Structures are given as C-alpha cells and as structure tokens.
Structure 1
Amino acid sequence: MGKRAAEKSGPMSTQQKRAKRFQQVRERFKNPQNLFDISPGMRGFFVSCTRGREQKSASETIDLLEQYATRLYPGIEEDIENEGETSAEPAPTGGDIEDEIAREIANIKSTSRPKLFRYYFTTIECVVFIKCHRMIDPEKLAHFVFEDLAKTKQRRTRYTCRLIPAKVTTSSKIDAIVKGAAEVTHRLLADDAEPTTFAVAINTRYCDDIKRDDVIPAVAAPLNAKHKVDLKNAKYTIVIEVFKSICTIGLVENYNSLRRFNLMTLFDEPEAKASSKPAPVLEAEGVSGDSQANAETA
C-alpha cells in the first residue's frame, strides 16, 4: 500500500495537477464573463447599458458602429483585408499553459473575417468595452453617430445607454489620467489653438482611490490659460470613465446638447423631459464616491 501511495504522489500527481490547471485556464478563456481583459493602450468605446443586457447591448452597439464606420470610412474593410490585419492581439510565444490557450484562440481568430470592433466584458454590471480597429478614430465616429441620429431621430438601439469614445485608455492612477487627458486635448493645447470653452466629466465605478475633486483641477489646469470653463454648454468636454483599475478618456463636442452621448435620452423632447418623472436608474449600483449623477461635471 505504501508503494502505491508513493506512486500516486509521484509523476502521475504532477500530470493530474497540470491537466487540472489546463482545464481551469481553458474554462476562463471559454467564459469571457470571468475575465477583465481591458488594458492600457486600447482604443474604442466605453458603453453603459441596461442591467443584465450587456451582451445584447454589445451586439447592437457593434452593429450600429459598423454601419456608421463604413459610411465614415468607405472601403475600410477591404483595406484591412488587404493588409492581412485583424483586430485580434498577437499570440504570445511563451511556453506556459495560458500562452498555449491564447495561441490556440489566436490561430482560430486569424482565419476569420477581420473585424472592425470587438467587445470585452468588464465583469461590471451595465458596463461593456468595445475595442475598435486602429484605423478608426473613436472620437470622430462617436460624433458622427450622434450628429446623424440627432437629425434623423431614428432609434437604432434598445439596451445601450451611453456610448463614450475611449481615445486613450490608461491605468486608474491620477498621473496616468492627467497624461492621457493631455494626449486627447493636444489640439486645444497647441500654440495656434483658438480660444474655446471646455468642461470635464468624470464617472468612477469600483475604484475608491480616485476622487473627482483631485482629477478635475489637474486635468483642467493646462487648458485654463487659453480656454474658459463652461459647465452648461461647453464646446468640448473631456469625458473620463474610471472602472476598477482602468480609465478611458475621450474628447467630445457638444456633449450636453447631444444628451451626454446617451442613446436612450437622445430622442427625448426637452419639454417632455422637464415635465416627466425621473427615469429609473438602469446602470450599475456601486459607483464609488459620489453617485454617478453627481460624479459627472459638465
């Protein structure tokens, strides 16, 4: 019996542990809800949506973005195919189990049709991140979408609330946020930039380290010398979304007049909105610090 026990605890036990570990990692990759894969350097869109409808929101939002992207960038799909590029990340070349799984998935994706957009679960209720191809400018596309929808008055989505461009994605550290904000506002900081009005909007979710009263003055400081703050009708708004360890930043025009880039309220008439009761909160609870409504300054 002792010999059998020793055999069980030998090489066979190591193989069993490796097989179990392989299976655990495989399950993580098969079930994206268990992953938080948003990382600094990504570009795309921060999306808030109805609770429990994250996947449906991602699907309808990607459909919407694809339709407008092909109008804003004619022939972009052919350009991507000609370059042989996809929006998938390069497969790792390491030798551990996670790298093996990643390579397997990357090989499968490389044979599929190139995608302009890809969605990522954030493990946060009511929040989805949609990554866009590097040829697409998320700020230009978002503005193009909302300007057109405001004119046509055609509702195209059912579950999606806010669609915010993420021109820069950084870690949720204040120095990284300030640096990212300077990057998205570079044209406003240029020597030949015309004086204009601006505001800063910030929302935080599941991140207690970032305080809006610390971020807003630091982000606004470089702009104050040439431009004027306008909290009601700013031409440009720096929109900062902090969730967990990640922060997305985008510069948008006519933020307030386009209903803060909210696809659900974009079509509301001002008179009806003023006389109606407050709409139920559809986004996730657990916004750290101030409530989401109070956390947004624009």
Structure 2
Amino acid sequence: MADPVQQPPQPSGGKRKGKAQYVQAKRARRCDAGGPRQLEPGLQGILITCNMNERKCVEEAYSLLNEYGDDMYGPEKFTDKDQQPSGSEGEDDDVEAALKKEVGDIKASTEMRLRRFQSMESGANNVVFIRTLGIEPEKLVHHILQDMYKTKKKKTRVILRMLPISGTCKAFLEDMKKYAETFLEPWFKAPNKGTFQIVYKSRNNSHMNREEVIKELAGIVGSLNSENKVDLTNPQYTVVVEIIKAVCCLSVVKDYMLFRKYNLQEVVKSAKDPSQPHPKLGNGKEVKLESDVKLNQNDSSEGKNNQQVVPENNEEPGQTKPKPESQVVNEEGAQPELADQVMGGSKSNENDHS
C-alpha cells in the first residue's frame, strides 16, 4: 500500500502575511484611483483639527466645503479636457504606441475620478488634510468663516480649526527658504506691503528649530519690502506655518484674530461688549498677558533688535482651567503654537517652553 502523500507544512504567519498583502494592494488601488492619499509636498488643501473623531470630522468637512464650494464655484463637474485621453492621433500602430495609449487612457481616467475635495492622511492624530483641486483654499475658508462670523450659526460639532494651505514643501530649512521666497511674493513683494505676524506649529517633527524658521521667514518678508511691519494685535496678514513630519504647510490668511484664529467653534460665539473688561481665565491671567504684550511692544520700539514671543491661548471649547502666565498652552495634543514677532534681529527676548 502506497504511503499517503504528505502536504508540505504551511509557513507560520502565512495568514497574517496574506492579510498584509491584501491591505497593501488595496491601498495601491485606492492611490491609483484617486491620486496621492497622504500629505506630501506640492499640494494645496485645508488643514483641519478635530476633537478625537477624525471620521466624523471628514464627514463634516465634506458637507461644509461642498456647501460653500458650490456657492462660490458652482456645482462640481468635469471639463471636456479632463475626459480626453492623452496621446497623439498619428502614432504608429505598434506595441509601444499601443502601450503609451493605454497608459494615457488610464491617466485620463484617473484625472476624471479626482474630486474637488479629497481627504488624505495627514500624518498626525486629530488632524485631517483635505486636498483641493481647482479652487483657492484661502478664499474659500475665509468665505466660510466670514459667513459663520456674521450669522453666528454653528455648523460643525467636532471640527475645531480650519486652516487653508496654499502650498506645501519639504520641512527642511533650505527647502522652506527657497519655497517661501516665491510663495510670499503676492502679499509682501513691493509694491505690495502689509502688517504681519507669523504663527508656527510643529507636529511629529523634531529636527526643525522654531526660532530659526521664524527668523528666516520674517527676514524674507522684510527683504521683499522694507515697509512690511510686524503687528501682533491686528495684522493684515498672518503667515501660517504648519509642520507635520517632513512636510511644511504654508499659507497667508486675513482676519486671523477677528475670526478667533480660524476656530469654527469660537467664531460663532457672540461678540462681547468692548466696554466690558476682558474675560478672565480663572484668575485674570489673560488680562495680564495682554498687558505684558503691550509692554514688550513698547520695549522693542526703543531701538532694540529683539524677537518677541506671544503664547497663543488654548482654543478648545469648554476649557477654563487657568494657566500660568509663562506657560505655553498645548493645543489639541500637539506641540505649542506661537505667534512670534521678529524685529530684524538675531537675539530673542522670550520664554521658550517648547
């Protein structure tokens, strides 16, 4: 009697390996169908912070952006150009030409599937990045905040802040300097000019130096037009620097202070009577902080070349725990965000608690 045929032993972890391959293939198909799925240099979009529920945040973002996007740009539709496959009509009918035509058809089909708004992996917790196509993110977000500020109608539950990102580059100082020299021209290059502040936040990144980045960017703004001046109270423009891992996101926004640092939860709150004293955070530290800012501004006007740092207050709704005056508040679980005033010098006059 012949011996039974023995089955070869199954390698350990085969089921797990098969699942990993399936996930990898699924991600590849999603990438092919809709472009890049992760934040990377060369994109425009909207950076959104949320309160522990990214899935709900994405749903709210799509609803809000489509509502106002349709209002500003009309209903989304594809153009005839998007539907035309690439490739010339006079190509020889050989294998190479047929392959090129097939690649062109796939590329054209992919372009047709790209939507006006597309959620992508940001690389940080409680942060969502919505890639945009065919719109100007800074104008759209400003329009949203302007309407919410005027109507005081709350339209989101988990979205905290919504920051337009007009450009992204590699988060290395030389790359950022080279990119910013061109990026900042529309707002600050002569004859254009304006008052400005720089707001900086870094997430999941340890190689960038906050003071060095702010100094370099402020120097670029000053070199574009010597009449550009720093204003921490009510600047015309706020240069937003958001660094996530190895990607630097940049934008220049208006009405940053008026719209409560682009916080959708705060902007719908009723404005307080200006004749009343400023609200206190438990023990009046906010009032004292504002006084210190004014004092620092007066000190800088005496001809000293100093760098001033103003800690931004925590914007999460419902938090009233008092903070020490010198403590920088950690927003949404990330590294501290600071609005820095650079007065053309290399020395700093600040309390660094990063």
State the TM-score, normalized to the length of structure 2: 0.63
Displacement of 1:111: 10
Counterpart residue number, 2:57: 57
What does 1:102-251 correspond to in 2, within 5 Å? 110=110, 115-133=115-133, 135-193=134-192, 195-224=193-222, 225-251=226-252
Shift in alpha-carbon separation, 1:222–1:46, aligned structure 2, 3 A: same
3-state secondary structure, aligned to 1:165: strand
Matched, 1:66 2:66: yes
Aligned letter for 2:82?
G
- Could you say which structure has the greater relative contact order, defined with CA pairs below 8 angstroms and 6 or more residues apart? 1
Displacement of 1:81: 4.3
Identity %: 24
Point out where structure 2 has 5 or more consecutive residues left out of the alignment: 1-5, 84-102, 283-313, 320-328, 342-354
Between the aligned partners of 1:197 and 1:111, the Cα distance in structure 2 is 40
Q: RMSD of aligned C-alpha atoms? A: 3.7
Counterpart residue number, 2:97: none
3-state secondary structure, aligned to 2:267: coil
Q: Report the number of matched residues.
A: 261
Counterpart residue number, 2:38: 37
Cα deviation code 1:186-239 (max 9, x no counterpart):
12343322x320111110111111122011110011222221000111000110
Contact preservation (8 Å) 1:68, 1:145: yes
Alignment counterpart, residue 274 of structure 1, candidates 279, 291, 300: 279
Between the aligned partners of 1:216 and 1:125, the Cα distance in structure 2 is 24
3-state secondary structure, aligned to 1:124: coil
Aligned letter for 1:131?
R
3-state secondary structure, aligned to 2:240: strand
- Between Structure 1 and Structure 2, which shows a larger proportion of helix residues? 1
Displacement of 1:115: 2.1
Bigger radius of gyration among the two = 2
Alignment counterpart, residue 285 of structure 1, candidates 333, 345, 348: 333
Displacement of 1:50: 0.4
Contact preservation (8 Å) 1:146, 1:258: yes
Between the aligned partners of 1:65 and 1:183, the Cα distance in structure 2 is 28
3-state secondary structure, aligned to 1:128: strand
Counterpart residue number, 1:260: 261
3-state secondary structure, aligned to 1:84: helix
Contact preservation (8 Å) 2:159, 2:264: yes
State the TM-score, normalized to the length of structure 1: 0.74
Between the aligned partners of 1:69 and 1:20, the Cα distance in structure 2 is 39
Between the aligned partners of 1:161 and 1:16, the Cα distance in structure 2 is 41
Contact preservation (8 Å) 1:139, 1:166: yes
